[in-house]
Structure 1
Amino acid sequence: MQAPQPPPTKQASTPATTQLPPKLFNARCLSCWLVLGVALLVLASFTTLNLQWAQFFSWDAISRMGRFVGELMHPESSSAFLHKLALATLETLAMSALGTFIALILGVLLALPASKAHAQDPARWRGPARLLLNALRSTPELVWATLLLIAAGLGPFAGTLALGLHTAGVLGRLFAEAIENAPPEPGFALRLRGISETRIFLYASLPQVLPQLLSYTLYRWENNIRAAAVLGVVGAGGLGQMLAFHMGLFQMGETSSVLLAMMLLVALVDALSYLIRSALSR
């Protein structure tokens, strides 16, 4: 017969040591000094800029702004104007879509030489390709449109090319980073079998980075909708050209309709992009 076991003795529970939160500022904290430097820079900006807050919040400025907003509350809704507005909206949508497609092709073509695919890749053209991408994306769309208007003339063609060139610089850099950060194991296995680099990219690298490439492209398409609406200010067609024309003539009803069309177009493209990304993530 087995002897009964003694009841387990209760161990004295040691109180948990409470750790106090760190101090807000520490002389050895590099990020603290960085935040402090940014805060001092913001304060210096307020002191150096001539910000006329009293004039901005004056009764005269508020009354004029209220009158301006009141005029915008009555958009133009005649059939002839709405027909022109619909054509300009489709033109802006086509500019953004075609410009993004051009940027997608150029971005992929420039991302390949601008990336180092694996450790043994010599990447001889990496420096010049990245320098070209920097030049493309550092030049704003408005500057590209102004330069291209001289060669292509007024209209949406110059705006489409401007969107394509600037966005190609952005997408090319993002695509190159995605290719370099892709897992190297599938490509390494194919490289051991003597497969060519082109087939390695098509069958190993591209399937891994394709969701990222599509996500970047859709995001830039959303941005290009807004940029295409602004490019019309310099005569590149679309809604922006209508906006600049009617605002210059102080036709607030027509201006209000153009602004509403811009907001609806941006909301439509945002919703479409969200649906595409949701379908790709399943």
Structure 2
Amino acid sequence: MKKTLLAVAMAGLVLLPMPVASAAEPVQLVSINQAGTATGSALSYDGSSAASYGGFGSLNTSRPVTSRDGRFVVFSSLATDLVSTPTSGQANVFRRDTVTGTTTQVSVSRSGRAGNAASSGGYLSADGRYVIFQSSATDLVAGSAQPAATGVFIRDVQTGVTSAVSVSPVGVFANAPAYVNAISGNGRYVVFGTSATNLQPGCTRGKPGLYVRDTVARTTTVVNVDDTGTNCGNDGAYGATQISDDGRYVSFVSDSTDLVGGDRNAQQTSSSVIAGRQGLSWSRSTPPGRARTGAAPSRR
């Protein structure tokens, strides 16, 4: 019988069955305390529901995210006993290694303690090494704190280095809240969404936009660019974004009417994509030195 992996959430617990050949195989608890005896001291969740808990997701639902092979699981939790790092009971992001049975806190400050504000969400690179998440903490990276309520960050769990993602090509934080969307399989490219007006010269309308951050070359590129190639589209871009493993292709949803020649999205509306009222688009880019396969080079 074909082996499967399935993430399951019940009563705020984060659970993940081991690779199974039959329904009789046991379920593994992911949001487990340090003693390995019970679930953590508070509910765990994925941070995907945007506004039900201070902008950081619903405490009543959980949808943990796994690496491609299912070994690593990322989730958010209010629990204070999942790792030895002191926490204040605010939402934090964790990565669980289901093979070694170890949990690592991802949303940590430069000093190695929990960040000074809530963090949530999370996606992993194919091998589970890189984790992206959103946070209101101001002590995760060196330099000036982000001016907006929420920033996007990437953590190299192997080296313990956290880098800012929602920044301009010169490293200035977005001047509006930013949220995680996707990470390429090799962990190098991150897609994030924001209404910021200071990331690209041609994107000053304050409409929701999508950007790709090359964490190695340290460049930020707008995805929803108009058909002139110089400005953001004339309306918002958002949706369940996907990015190819090598970071070259990005799919997204947009209300803009000027992304392609000929105004193919004249009947723009915020209704369902299935109804054919929104434009479903893709963007292609070929950044210098793109890594096509394997883990991303060092970000140090």
TM-score of the superposition, structure 1-length normalised? 0.24
| More strand by percentage | 2
Q: Which one has a bigger Cα radius of gyration?
A: 1
* Higher RCO (CA < 8 A, seq sep 6+): 1
